[in-house]
Structure 1
Amino acid sequence: MSSELSRRSVFRAIGLGATAVAVPSLISACGDGTSGGGVGNAGTEQAAWPTYTAAKVPTPDLPGDGNDVQNGYTKYPSEVGNATSGKPGDGSVVKAVVITYGTPPGPKETNKFLQAVNEALGIDLQLTVVPDADYQAKMATLMAGDDLPDIMNIGGGYILPREADFVASKCADLSEFLSGDAVKAYPNLANIPTRAWKDMGRVKGRIMGVPVERPAPGNIFFANREMWKGAGVDEAAFTSGSWTSSDLLTAAKALTKDKKYALGASKSGNFGLGVHAPAWGAPNLWKNDGTSFVSYFATPEFKQAVAFMRDLYAAGVYYPDALTVSQVDAKTQFAGQITGSLTDGFGAYSSMIPAAKGAYTVAPALPYVGGSAGGKLFAARSVFGYTVLKKAAPDRIKLLLRVLDFLAAPFGTKEYELIHYGVEGAHFTRDAAGNPVQTDLWKGGENKTNLPITYLCDAPQVLFYPGVSPDAIALMHAFEKKTAPNLVRNPAYGLVSDTASKSEAAIRKTITDVLNAVVMGRSSLDDWDAAVKRYKADGGDKIGEEYAKEYAASK
């Protein structure tokens, strides 16, 4: 992440300033034994997971399966009720920090969305937003200090240095408030499925956060269907998965011309690794062979994927500045049809559709087949991230949990409507069918992208996108149904490793740097083999051993 961007420009906040901290490392904060000498769960008394209690939701038009396939709604519910009673807050200031994929929100004095949220929550929310491109570095700096905000989301798929140590030493233990039936005091948090809590995991046997739930599919190859059709890719490739790595390479070469590129990519996307690795049959980060955990870096299938990505790069089909472009800019390039595809998470579909403005079809392509064990899709961790709270008195913790409970109100409620669509009349109106229609104020920046409160906590997601045709919603529902049998899960989700907490961020960056160099032709595949050996020796094997121990203890 860029360290040149000034601290002031990154921590542009509505109300929370950034305290200067000189050392962007958590070693001084968490490496002094204050966390109790380990963050693992093996050998601990483990808090019971929150008792799942399903909320009443509108009957879906496209029913899900309660696990890998979401409920789909082709129209907005005709009746919208309340999921909470009264305001959760007491008028006090609540400081929070969260990742953003947009631009900083306007000040609360002029921001009608923030004003409405504050009024409904009964608090003075002072939100610091940290840009995606700088998230790891800036969060490490923040976490190393002592002036912590009340609410912090750890998310975006990143691994933060000594993350679990930080959570164990500086964040509130929420077990007594959320474990077992205690969660029923917060009914919307009780509606978060158990898989999300498990994929978040415990730390030292304790429940330390609240998960922000996400659907089952992981990274997806989103394609501009018309551009790929023009390059010879039949629609069946997207809807039935009847294409191979050779088909992809051939079509990508044909598509790339006149300053247009087949494959969009970004700094955080590593040349679409999240799509290419499972397409070649690699395990999802870790492989559990029954007795040990093996990193996907060390598998032959992963190396095959790297070799294919190298072929794609050599063919010139990636956007040229793939390692310096942010994911936000990569989305802009895809929307402008400069690139014909983009690897992104499942939820990105909701913003890609309106960004296309009807000029092309955004198609979630089923995985291509890259090898004998290929054609797979990684299952996502069931969470975007998780939200932790600064240590505080029990009454303060209960207030903050009530705030998160409000944010987690399910689809089909007034609370959800406010958090996701804003204020009726200001941020949305309704069409003849009752569906929310975004106003210019929302489109112009006063929205949940620029005020990313849904990353602090959110309802279990459903397939419904205002302004998106029922056909597009049905397309994603069908995609989920078709990919569900071939999802590759990560057996390490929810497990804790002391070594991973202390060193995985650093050793993963080292091997990822080599991976990028190999893809770009600056290093050889022999260099990759050497990098894998170094990764294993520097802690990769130790992490695998600790995960195996944790996995056995979690059964």
Structure 2
Amino acid sequence: MAALAVSGAGSVLTACGSGGGGGASSREGATAGKALRDLLPEHIPSDLVEPDFAGVDGSSPGFTHLPDPLATSVPEPRGSGATFRVMTPLWGTVPRRENDYYTAVNEALGSTLTFDPQDGNTYQEKIGAVLAGSDIPDAVTIPGWNMQGQIRNAITSRFADLAPYLAGSKVRDYPNLANIPTAAWQYCVFGGALRGLPMPAPVLGDAIFYRRDIVGTGTPPGSADDLLAFGAEYTDARAGRWAFDDLWTGIQKIFGVLPDAPSYWREEGGRLVHKIETEEYREALAFARKLHDQKYVHPDAEANKDADAKMRFTGGQVLMYNDGTGGWKGMVSEQGDDFDMQPVDYFFHDGGAPRLWQDPAASIFTFLNKDLPEEKIRELLAAADFAAAPYGTREFMLTYYGVEGVHHELSDGVPDFSEQGLQEAQPATLVFLASPPHTVAFPDEPQLVEDYAGWMARQAPHVSQPLFFGMQVVEPQRYATLYTPFDDLQKDIRRGRKKVSDLEQAVSTWRNSGGDELRDWYQELLESNGSGN
């Protein structure tokens, strides 16, 4: 989505950190345990709108229709008329600075937010330049994948500590922010302070999908052996059809492999073990290699042509592929009624219950300028509270769809954007200020809501939080490239260019090149701060 390099910003931003040496005061470490709990807002779930499918163990609730009438979460404008500059990323056409959507939003807020959306594909460079300067907007959205180089240091030095306004029961002044799950707030702690406003994410964001309209309504695979049988049954190279696209993400889940940094550690006998050292990782690689050896994987997937994976799946060239659940709705709507893609219920490779790890609960954050006076911080938090209104409220509809009759029309409870809405309201900007908890809400696709919410509800009881969950861990720069060789190695093994046994030498090299030192660093972090789960 966004470039990962800061063009020329590294040296300029160095001054933003607290101290220019190698210390860990702002650039390395994390906040956890009691220190973390004292910073977090109280969680008070909203009951304004009852879902059609309730969440289970943190899964996303499902809504098949809009309530009529809509609920109200912010009865009247809370702003004082102050003006704020807000910088967000945007993937799409930038709307005009003055338009009916912004006018309606500002009237509802009682404040004037002047949005400055930037191209999300070049946002990294823009953030670097802005944070290196002296003219910082009042609110700045920064996705986690853009926190490269010295940007994390800039976050701790440029943005306000929000704990005095939100920690514990203080969040009750902002009921919609109080509705945001605690796990999402955990990720908002930077440099020992609560600095971010989160965009909450689901407990699981990836699934292995299969074409039920082609393979039928029988029981989908429930073990690694079942997957091999599926591959043998449905792969027919002469007919241009293969059973699988690249399933590596899903394969790791069915073997219980740990996630990536900083959650790639677990404790065994009082010692930290990295994911690459585990038997699960080796077994996952061996199984992925088996799919390659049996020629069950589409050749273009083997050639890393990931951009065409959706087309291979919708075109029937592959019958099972791995993707984020966020794209499910778009594919169903585009393909029509005869198209039926469904997610496989995760399983452990031996056919038992899955051992799943929770995804990060937030990865996009908005920060408030630390130079704002208290009254302006409170006014911006009131605007964020409006933006975080839950599904089924007037505030949610205005935030996401604009003004009825101007930006959208409602037909049988389904909002349909007008041309003006596509230009002004659909390029979402206010949603970045803060967002409600993740929901599955598609009134135009009620069956999809049942399928999606039901799938997540079945997976959620098997989800655990990894050791460093919710912790914004900043590893020492000297270890930055330590894990990089394994990105290439796992592909080489899965694609048949190297042997599974080559993993052993790579792990040995990793240990001797700094892996054991990194282990000690994390061990000290764990002993000093406690875990994040």
The TM-score range, normalised by the shorter chain, is 0.7 to 0.9
Contact 1:241 1:365 in 2 (8 A): no
SS at match of 2:451: helix
For 2:77 and 2:193, how far apart are their aligned partners in 1?
30
SS at match of 1:499: coil
Q: Cα offset for 1:355?
A: 2.8
**Aligned twin of 1:391:** 370
Q: 1:440 to 1:97 in 2, by over 3 A?
A: closer
Matching of residue 438 in structure 1 with residue 421 in structure 2: no
Query: Gapped runs of 5+ residues in structure 2?
Result: none
Q: 1:129 to 1:499 in 2, by over 3 A?
A: same
Q: 1:481 to 1:325 in 2, by over 3 A?
A: closer
Which has more radius of gyration?
Answer: 2
Q: Cα offset for 1:541?
A: 1.8
Matching of residue 80 in structure 1 with residue 80 in structure 2: no
For 2:290 and 2:178, how far apart are their aligned partners in 1?
48
**Aligned twin of 2:394:** 414
Listed as ranges, the matches of 1:24-423 within 5 Å are: 29-30=16-17, 32-33=20-21, 36=25, 38-41=28-31, 45-46=35-36, 47-65=38-56, 67-84=57-74, 85-86=76-77, 88=79, 90=81, 92-98=83-89, 102-108=91-97, 113=101, 116-121=104-109, 122-131=112-121, 148-155=136-143, 160-161=148-149, 164-198=152-186, 200=187, 202-229=189-216, 235-237=218-220, 244-251=226-233, 253-254=235-236, 262-264=243-245, 271-284=246-259, 285-289=264-268, 291-313=270-292, 315=295, 316-317=297-298, 319-320=300-301, 323=304, 325=306, 330-331=309-310, 334-335=313-314, 340-371=319-350, 375-393=354-372, 394-423=374-403
Listed as ranges, the matches of 1:500-515 within 5 Å are: 502=477, 506-515=481-490
AA of the residue aligned to 1:90? G
Q: What do the CA deviations read for 1:530-549 (whole angstroms, capped 9, x no partner)?
A: 44344444354245324522
Contact 1:281 1:374 in 2 (8 A): no
**Aligned twin of 2:445:** 468
For 1:251 and 1:152, how far apart are their aligned partners in 2?
52
For 1:310 and 1:378, how far apart are their aligned partners in 2?
23
For 1:290 and 1:117, how far apart are their aligned partners in 2?
55
SS at match of 1:212: strand
Q: Cα offset for 1:294?
A: 2.5
How many residue pairs get aligned? The number is: 516
Q: 1:301 to 1:458 in 2, by over 3 A?
A: same
SS at match of 1:62: coil
Contact 2:176 2:388 in 1 (8 A): yes
Q: Cα offset for 1:413?
A: 0.9
AA of the residue aligned to 2:328? Y
AA of the residue aligned to 1:514? L
- Provide the alpha-carbon RMSD of the alignment: 3.9
Contact 1:279 1:374 in 2 (8 A): no
For 1:158 and 1:300, how far apart are their aligned partners in 2?
33
SS at match of 2:530: helix
AA of the residue aligned to 1:246? L
Q: Cα offset for 1:290?
A: 6.1
**Aligned twin of 2:504:** 529
Moved more, 401-410 or 220-229: 220-229
For 1:59 and 1:135, how far apart are their aligned partners in 2?
37
Contact 2:32 2:471 in 1 (8 A): no
Contact 2:117 2:429 in 1 (8 A): no
Q: Cα offset for 1:161?
A: 4.3
Contact 1:113 1:446 in 2 (8 A): yes
SS at match of 2:400: helix
Contact 1:81 1:412 in 2 (8 A): yes
Q: Cα offset for 1:142?
A: 6.2
Q: What do the CA deviations read for 1:441-482 (whole angstroms, capped 9, x no partner)?
A: 38966654x43543442111222213112x221222321232
For 2:392 and 2:274, how far apart are their aligned partners in 1?
41
Q: What do the CA deviations read for 1:109-164 (whole angstroms, capped 9, x no partner)?
A: 5x654554455443111111313xx6767766766666544433343667744664
**Aligned twin of 1:15:** none
Q: Cα offset for 1:416?
A: 0.5
Moved more, 135-144 or 351-360: 135-144
**Aligned twin of 2:458:** 482
SS at match of 1:195: helix
Moved more, 375-384 or 136-145: 136-145
Q: Cα offset for 1:192?
A: 0.9
For 1:97 and 1:505, how far apart are their aligned partners in 2?
28
For 1:442 and 1:321, how far apart are their aligned partners in 2?
43
For 1:118 and 1:153, how far apart are their aligned partners in 2?
19
Query: Gapped runs of 5+ residues in structure 1?
Result: 8-19, 265-270
The two structures have a TM-score, normalised by structure 2, of 0.81
Q: 1:529 to 1:387 in 2, by over 3 A?
A: farther
Q: Cα offset for 1:417?
A: 0.9
Contact 2:9 2:125 in 1 (8 A): no
**Aligned twin of 1:13:** none
Q: Cα offset for 1:42?
A: 6.6
AA of the residue aligned to 1:210? L
Q: What do the CA deviations read for 1:284-322 (whole angstroms, capped 9, x no partner)?
A: 433233634322222121122223334445524264486
Q: What do the CA deviations read for 1:331-370 (whole angstroms, capped 9, x no partner)?
A: 5665565654443334333333323332411212112543
Q: Cα offset for 1:414?
A: 0.8
For 1:426 and 1:139, how far apart are their aligned partners in 2?
33
AA of the residue aligned to 1:438? D
Contact 2:254 2:348 in 1 (8 A): yes
AA of the residue aligned to 1:519? R
Q: What do the CA deviations read for 1:184-228 (whole angstroms, capped 9, x no partner)?
A: 222211111223223x16334321212222222242113332244
